[in-house]
Structure 1
Amino acid sequence: MNANRNEVAELPPYRALVVVDVKNFSGEKGRDHDWITRQIPVILEHALVRCGLGELRRQVCFEGTTGDGYFLGFEPKHLPFLLNPFLSELQAELEYQNAVNPVSDRQKLRMRVSLTVGPMTDSGQNGISDGSGDTRIEAHRMIDAKPVRDMLARSNDTTCVAAIISRRVYEDAVVSGYAVDAPDLYVPVPVEVKTYRGTAYLRVPKPSGDLLSRGFTPPGPPEADSWDRGEHAGPAESGGPSRAVKQRFTKSTVGIGNVQGNVGTAINGDNVTMHTGSGDQFNAPLGDGVNLLGANRGRIRHQVNKGGDEGDGR
């Protein structure tokens, strides 16, 4: 049924969509790009044959190349099989191809995979516009997302497949039990690419490297506490630049070499020895706000000792 774009229209049929992308395609020699592009659908077909789904390759609703990748549209009833066993068998097929038919000595073929399900146009003729719709956009945004890129960047060549699936795929095929995959094999991650925002799920059939030691979502940089934000830093004196030297230690030694400028700030905790060189020193327990003033004045003129050692520590 054709309709004007301003009129109500029928919802396109639901399709399951697989999109794959080769890692670092542009890093290969230009002369190899043609071979890799032609090899991708062959690898996908072999992976389907490996898991007993060779017939499924002939039931594709629409397909096409993206240059460094490929997409396949299926009826949604096949979605569970595209998770299990397809992802694991794609890993096995890439391992085999890398061993017997490597693209180069410099790197192995490794792929990112995204899976979505939803309404997409399908004329039944594998037309140029088949597979269009928001679901298709979601698949391509997910495969470009940083979380799934990190899976291959933080692993070694043992890991050939890193997959990311939409929330709908996770709920319809994994949580429901149809894929017979444990839900805790999938790690939820936020996805933000261009205008797309959503939650997706990572699946890596064969993790390696940093993925084993730190997991799929490594801890980020530590949050700045009040000391890092400078809430206890002393005010700068006028007449020149200042520099704050901030440390937070317990029962250790803090050494400060040269502090350039009119004012420096040093913060140390209880039972800490501070070696400051020449200049004014004020020692106090953490929390009182400690100022190290007047670098290069030749001697320590004033000292308040509440938690540090007696003397200038030299």
Structure 2
Amino acid sequence: MVHKASELPPYRALLVVDIKDFSGVPGRYQADVTDLVPVVLRSAFERCGLTEVWSGKRFIISTGDGCALGFPSTVLPLLLTPFLQALQDELDYRAQVHADPVPLRMRVSVNVGAVTDSGRELISEGSGASRVETHRLLDAEPVRDLLARSGPATRVAAIVSARAFHDVVASGYTAEPQDLYVPAPVQVKQLADLAYLRVPSPTGDLLHSGFLPRAEPGGNGVDEHVSTEDRPHGAGSTANNAQDVQGNLNQSGDHVNQGNTNYTFHGTGNVNSGPGTQFNGADTRYYDKRRS
């Protein structure tokens, strides 16, 4: 079969959410919680003055314990700020007034890419590799770990694709500090990339240890005797295991798939999660692979 080139589907801002521990919701309430997800999202958009953004969504698809939505790519910055904080505030309010059968906590993934969008509300709307990637990000261990290591007052944990981060956060469109986002390597099935973690209201171990989990005592991770003052500055603090982070980095050193310089970073322990060079280990060594 001869395949011919075809037109690229439109770029859409992608938002996928799901409920933490949905399987733990009593069966009699699961249908109610499923129906509540778009209600909560709509209320969060309205809470932060984005009613028109909600009304302008291109598609919304239920996933049972959450939903996937597509928006015009121009509103991508707004899905990070002010929406993430508004979602946290909305879930806080609903918990206080006992609006839901159980208190809700949500994981959120944000991405941008080419997906189908016919405008005819077909069941296939939103199909494409970018949509698959967005769901993979939502299943990644780093974002799951955020809600596991935080208290119930942390109701939202978000993971942002590298493309979305560089397009709207690093480029200044969200008008917020880059170091609110912590870089984290993710690997889910065929997806292996660097993503960015964002928690509007961190609590529990996230405040004590940062957004990346501490290494187990006696393992190959961070030296437990190193004070936090001696560790690199940033919103997160430590890596889980000794790793080699390889790939093409841009000159800011915070993404493994951008730029032309190919570096390998060696070491164990700390990960600098600020906007500067990312590295592992206090005695980090690096080299330019083009010269080796």
Same fold (TM over 0.5): yes
Which ranges of structure 2 fall in alignment gaps of 5 or more residues? 222-292
Residues 5, 139 of structure 1: CA spacing in aligned structure 2 closer, same or farther, 3 A cutoff?
A: farther
Compute the TM-score of the two structures, normalised by the length of structure 1.
Answer: 0.68
Q: Give % identity.
A: 52
Report the CA distance between 1:71 and its aligned residue.
Answer: 1.2
Structure 2 residue 133 is the aligned partner of structure 1 residue 138: yes
CA offsets, 1:11-40, max 9 Å, x none? 110000000010000101001001101101
Q: Which secondary structure does the structure 1 equivalent of 2:87 belong to?
A: helix
**Is the contact made by 1:62 and 1:127 (CA closer than 8 Å) also made in structure 2?**
no
Aligned amino acid, residue 4 of structure 2: E
Residues 184, 127 of structure 1: CA spacing in aligned structure 2 closer, same or farther, 3 A cutoff?
A: same
Q: Which of 174, 188, 196 is the equivalent residue of 2:191?
A: 196
Report the CA distance between 1:126 and its aligned residue.
Answer: 2.1
Q: Which of 71, 80, 86 is the equivalent residue of 1:83?
A: 80
Which ranges of structure 1 fall in alignment gaps of 5 or more residues? 226-314
Q: Which secondary structure does the structure 2 equivalent of 1:46 belong to?
A: helix
CA offsets, 1:35-59, max 9 Å, x none? 1011010000000001101111111
Q: Which of 70, 75, 78 is the equivalent residue of 1:73?
A: 70
Structure 2 residue 18 is the aligned partner of structure 1 residue 21: yes
CA offsets, 1:173-217, max 9 Å, x none? 100110112100000111111111111000000000000011101
Q: Which secondary structure does the structure 2 equivalent of 1:126 belong to?
A: coil
Aligned amino acid, residue 53 of structure 1: L
**Is the contact made by 1:32 and 1:103 (CA closer than 8 Å) also made in structure 2?**
no
Report the CA distance between 1:7 and its aligned residue.
Answer: 1.3
Q: Which has the larger radius of gyration?
A: 1
Report the CA distance between 1:218 and its aligned residue.
Answer: 2.6
Q: Which of 155, 172, 186 is the equivalent residue of 2:181?
A: 186
Report the CA distance between 1:88 and its aligned residue.
Answer: 0.2
CA offsets, 1:268-309, max 9 Å, x none? xxxxxxxxxxxxxxxxxxxxxxxxxxxxxxxxxxxxxxxxxx
**Is the contact made by 1:20 and 1:71 (CA closer than 8 Å) also made in structure 2?**
yes
Aligned amino acid, residue 36 of structure 1: V
Report the CA distance between 1:101 and its aligned residue.
Answer: 2.6
Matching residue of 1:176 = 171
Matching residue of 1:287 = none
Aligned amino acid, residue 194 of structure 1: K
Report the CA distance between 1:102 and its aligned residue.
Answer: 4.6
Matching residue of 1:274 = none
Q: Which of 146, 149, 153 is the equivalent residue of 2:144?
A: 149
Moved more, 216-225 or 61-70: 216-225
Aligned amino acid, residue 50 of structure 2: L
Q: Which of 202, 217, 220 is the equivalent residue of 2:215?
A: 220
Tell me the distance in 2 between the aligned counterparts of 1:96 and 1:79: 25
Tell me the distance in 2 between the aligned counterparts of 1:187 and 1:58: 31
Q: Which secondary structure does the structure 1 equivalent of 2:109 belong to?
A: strand
Compute the TM-score of the two structures, normalised by the length of structure 2.
Answer: 0.73
Runs of 4+ aligned structure 1 residues displaced above 6 Å come to none
Tell me the distance in 2 between the aligned counterparts of 1:165 and 1:74: 16
Report the CA distance between 1:82 and its aligned residue.
Answer: 0.6
Aligned amino acid, residue 80 of structure 1: P
Moved more, 162-171 or 52-61: 52-61
Matching residue of 1:61 = 58
Matching residue of 1:166 = 161
**Is the contact made by 1:17 and 1:139 (CA closer than 8 Å) also made in structure 2?**
yes
Q: Which secondary structure does the structure 2 equivalent of 1:57 belong to?
A: helix
Report the CA distance between 1:5 and its aligned residue.
Answer: 8.0
How many residue pairs get aligned? The number is 220
CA offsets, 1:232-289, max 9 Å, x none? xxxxxxxxxxxxxxxxxxxxxxxxxxxxxxxxxxxxxxxxxxxxxxxxxxxxxxxxxx
